[in-house]
Structure 1
Amino acid sequence: KEVSKGTLNESLAHPREIFKPAISHSAYGFVLVHNHPSGDPAPSESDIRLTRRVAESASILQIRFLDHIIVGSPQHEQPGYFSFKEAGIIAS
């Protein structure tokens, strides 16, 4: 479910909006996904801060934060996405 629309270079998501659908559907867990229109899936400092806030909130709410994936474009044999779980930034 779409919970927020960002600008060209920044996400405007807040944990409160992110958790509304998960709570209303009594979800066990969720995956957060957003795109980078630039095509570069590398996380920004803002993405990292948001991910950490969401992880802390998920722990308090006892809802599993399964992954945060940033979608971009494949380039030079690199995948077109970044997974915070694969990078070890959030626990499994």
Structure 2
Amino acid sequence: EVFGEAVRQRATAILVAHNHPSGNLEPSIEDKDVTRRLKQAGDILGIKVLDHLIFSEEGYLSMLEGNLF
């Protein structure tokens, strides 16, 4: 599902983003695992995952900028 439209549009890269309604911007273990798996899937498809962003009312966290990517 994450890559469906990117494949249809022949994209070479995507950004992944989701929200944390709790306001806590710290990525969970699941966030980190999903990011790792999405990067692996993207490598197989030839679609680079540029970053994974987490948004909340407090702001955002870039997993790339935070060296969590």
Normalized against structure 2, the TM-score is what?
0.91
Mapped pair 1:82 → 2:58: no
Secondary structure at 1:57 match in 2: helix
Separation in structure 1 between the aligned mates of residue 40 and residue 68 of structure 2, nearest angstrom: 12
Q: Where has structure 1 moved over 3 Å in runs of 4 or more?
A: none
Which structure's CA Rg is the greater one? 1
Query: Which amino acid in structure 2 is aligned with residue 81 of structure 1?
Result: Y
Higher strand share: 2
Query: Which runs of no fewer than 5 residues in structure 1 stay unpaired?
Result: 1-16, 75-79
Query: Which runs of no fewer than 5 residues in structure 2 stay unpaired?
Result: none
Separation in structure 1 between the aligned mates of residue 68 and residue 40 of structure 2, nearest angstrom: 12
Query: 2:8 — aligned with what?
Result: 24
Query: Which amino acid in structure 1 is aligned with residue 6 of structure 2?
Result: A
Normalized against structure 1, the TM-score is what?
0.70
Alignment of 1:1-92 (within 5 A): 17-74=1-58, 80-90=59-69
Query: What is the alpha-carbon root mean square deviation over aligned residues?
Result: 1.0
Is 1:41–1:73's contact at 8 Å kept on the other side of the alignment? no
Q: CA deviation at 1:40?
A: 1.1
Query: Which amino acid in structure 2 is aligned with residue 33 of structure 1?
Result: A
Q: Which has the higher contact order (CA 8 A, sep 6+)?
A: 2
Is 1:32–1:67's contact at 8 Å kept on the other side of the alignment? yes
Query: Which amino acid in structure 1 is aligned with residue 68 of structure 2?
Result: I
